[in-house]
Each structure stands twice: as C-alpha cells, then as structure tokens.
Amino acid sequence: MANQEHSCGLYYRPQMRIMAYEALDFYDVDSLLTEEERMVRDMVRDWVDEEVIPNIEIACRDGVFPDEWRVALGEMGVLGAPLKGYGCPGLSYTAYGVICRELERGDSGLRSFASVQGSLAMYPIWDFGSEEQKNYYLPKMASGEWIGCFGLTEPDYGSNPGDMITKAEDMGDHYLLNGAKMWITNGSIAELAVVWAKLDGVIRGFIVEKNDPGFSAPEMKGKHSLKASVTSELVFQDCKIPKDRMLPGVKGLRGPFSCLNNARYGISWGALGSAQACFDSAKDYAMSRIQFNHPIASYQLVQNKLSWMLREITKGQLLAYHLGQKKDAGNWIPEHISLAKMNNVDIALEIARVARDIHGANGILDEYPIMRHMANLESVKTYEGTHDIHNLIIGRHITGIQAFTREA
C-alpha cells in the first residue's frame, strides 16, 4: 500500500497534525440560523471538540458509549430537543438538526444515542402517551437520568414491520408480551423500551421497563460499525406489562412511522457532520502531505476531489436547512424526509471513501477519523429505512404506484 514504509520489521506512520476544526459552510447557510440556534450549535460543537473527539477512538476500541456523555447531553439540554413541556428543551426542529450535525461530526454513535432517546423513545410518549406517562417519564429522559430505546425491527422483519410477530395478550389486569426485537440502539443500557407489538392483530405501543419480569436485552457484539454505540436484542418471554403502560393515543404503523420520520430528519443533518469531518481531515492532509516536492493539494486530481466534496456538502446543507424550515412551519411531507435522508447519507458515505483515497494508506489509521466515519455511515445508510426503501417511497410519490410488494 502506498505511503507505508517497512524497515527492519517496523511500521512507520507520519505524525498527525492537530488542526482546529473549520466548518465548511460555502454558502453561509448557518447565517440563516436564529441566535438561539447558533448558540446551541456552538455549545455542542465545543463539547464535541473538547470531550468527544479526544476520546472517541478509545470508546470505539472498548466498544462502549461512555456514561459521562449521557450525563453531558442531559446537562446541555439537547435530548428531545424539539419537544415542548414536561421538562423538554422546546427548541426548533432546525436546532435539533444542527445538534445532530455537530454530534455526528464526533461520531454517528453519539448522534444515534441522542436520536433514539429523543425521536424514538421520548417522542412517542410525548405525542401518544397519557398525561401520567408524560409527567413520569419525559422529565427523567430529558435530563438524561433515564435512557430509552425503541423496539420495532425484528430478526425476520425489518423493512416490512407490519408483518411483525411480537404480540401482546390482554390478561385482564396486565398485558403479556412475547417476541423479540433486533438491532436496538441503547437497548442494554436503557431504563425503558418503547415496544411495538400486535394486540388482537393491531399494532400498539407499550412502555417496557428494564426490570419487568420476562424482559432481557442482551448486547450484540462483533460489530465493525457504530462501535461506540450499544446495540442490543430485546427479548420478551411472557413479559408482564401493567395496563397503564400501553400508549393510548395511537394504533397501527402510524405510531412507529411518526417516530421514524423525526429520526430520519435528524439523520439528514447528522450525515453532513460526518461528511464535514472527512472533508476537513482530507483538506488538512492534502495541504500538509508532500509528494514530488509539492503538497498533494496542488495537484489537479486532488483539487477535483475536494471541489466535489464541497459541492455535495453544500447541496446537502441547503437541503437540510430548507427541510428544517418546513418541519418548523409544519408543511412537510414524509417524502421530503426520505429524500433528505437518502441523499445526504449517500453523499456522506461517498465523501468518506474519497477522503480515504486522499489520505492514501494513512486513511485506514485511527489517527484520522475517515475509516470510522465510513464504517458508521454504512450502518446509517441501512437503519431508519434503507436507501432502496426511501427510493421506493419517492417512486410511489411520483407515480402513485407502490412497488414495495407484488400485491396491488
């Protein structure tokens, strides 16, 4: 591999230059943010610089999500960012997007934690829960005291959750839950899970607490991606759920899909954070790496790659910002979110690959963030709706014809 030198069996790597992060914002999109949104951006950005980036590779090697990050996110008041009341921050959806972008610049696992906590665990309680449920759970979750997770995907049912086999039975004074959920972020460290199961054939949401009898959440090991994120299986074996733990305000897939739309929205911003991190590293490396007596940034091929990165990030920023404005105004449709999630993750992953190419062999080292972001984005491209599923959502919008199944 180029740029690697072996001498007497020793591996040589050039010393990494530590450069201050300079956010790429070619069209000055952040100037459109409100003062509050810029304050939130700066707070999260500084925290990521000071606490996350110096420690993220250690967390990945150990395969842990540091508990001090949970505490800090709660203290900053960014969990459940756009939710109002019940101790929630009450920020704009644009601010939530900015938070996701800054967190994912640190690592996709960090954004995943906040996204699952706010969009997938807190949101269904906030929107579909009883007043008692909202008052009991949301303040604890907004502060970071309690971690939540979201159980929809099953071992055999991912893109088609309507066919789930996890079911609840009404036993008179309680519900009995049986089944399993797979690929659950935060599962093993969560105090509660919002679980979707069929009750008399109708999908309903249930709040399962970690000490409920018959419930376990074994952690999934051996991941090459999202290594600083806890991923688990949720297992329910005659799991006894009190009657007051069912979400009363929703039936059917509208419940989980409402949650997923908010999570996908956050991803459309978050992926840009990964892309910006890769661009920043590639630019700095190209300016400092000398080959043939000149920095490689002086060569046309490298400049073409950097220019392409800037172009795609800028388009993604404009897409995310406009979507944020539509979310705040309430005039969005799910297809808007599908397009943004699909596009921005796609370009972020390709930017990571091109950035690795600019770094040469050094791009595989954990001294640089490139391979970590690339591996993470492979997962991000799949979860919360795969790239292909979002394409079909857009296709249905264009033609009026669903192409998910062979059925009419």
Size (the chain), residues: 408
> What is the dihedral angle through the alpha carbons of 298, 12, 274, 159, rounded to the nearest 10 degrees?
120
Angle at 354 between CA 349 and CA 357, to 5 degrees: 135
Comparing CA positions, the residue from 283, 405, 258, 400 lying closest to residue 351 is: 283
> How many CA atoms are closer than 13 Å to the CA of 310, on its beta-carbon side?
13
Given 37, 57, 312, 384, the catalytic residue: 384
Number of other CB atoms surrounding residue 389 within 10 Å: 16
The CA-to-CA distance between both ends of the chain, in Å, stands at: 52
Between vectors from CA 338 to CA 275 and to CA 124, what angle results, nearest 5°? 100
- Look at residues 390, 379, 377, 380 and name the one whose alpha carbon lies nearest to residue 334: 390
Q: For residue 14, what is the DSSP state?
A: P
CB within 8 Å of 401: residues ≥ 6 apart: 395
| 254-283 per-residue burial string, b: 16 or more CB within 10 A, e: under 16 | ebbebbbbbbbbbbbbbbbbbbbbbbbbbb
Is 51 marked active-site?
no
CA distance linking residue 358 with residue 150, whole number of Å: 38
In angstroms, the CA 326 to CA 93 distance is: 9
Is 210 within 8 Å of 279 (Cβ atoms)?
A: no
**DSSP code, position 32:** G
Angstrom distance (rounded) from CA 114 to CA 59 = 17
For 23, which DSSP code? -
Q: E strands, 73-230, where?
A: 148-151, 167-170, 174-185, 192-199, 202-209, 215-216
The catalytic residue positions are 384
